[in-house]
């Protein structure tokens, strides 16, 4: 009787392990769900160097010659200063 319960527990554990392996394999072969598009709120400003639009509150700001300029990255800001 005890040997039968141990054998049943062993088969149950083996079946559960096989289930986990199959689920892991399926998750690797399934394509990832694309994330929903990010909702941008607020005013958009244009980076004059690379011509991209970015949220004003995320832009790098610089005032030069009395004009406020916006940049998407430090690289664009350096390019603007060099020009």
Give pLDDT, residue 9. Answer: 93
pLDDT digits (tens, 9 = 90+) for 30-59: 777 788 887 777 899 999 999 999 999 999
Minimum mean pLDDT among 7-11, 38-42, 64-68: which range? 38-42
Give pLDDT, residue 62. Answer: 93
CA dihedral sign, ordered 39, 41, 46, 50: negative
This prediction's pTM: 0.51
Q: 9, 83, 16: which is closest to 69 by C-alpha? A: 83
């Amino acid at each position: 009787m005890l040997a039968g319960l141990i054998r049943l527990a062993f088969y149950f554990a083996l079946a559960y392990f096989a289930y986990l392996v199959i689920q892991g394999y399926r998750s690797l072969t399934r394509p990832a769900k694309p994330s929903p598009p990010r909702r941008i709120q607020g005013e958009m400003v244009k980076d004059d160097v690379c011509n991209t639009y970015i949220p004003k509150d995320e832009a790098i700001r610089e005032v030069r010659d009395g004009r406020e300029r916006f940049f998407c990255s430090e690289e664009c800001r350096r390019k603007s200063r060099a020009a």
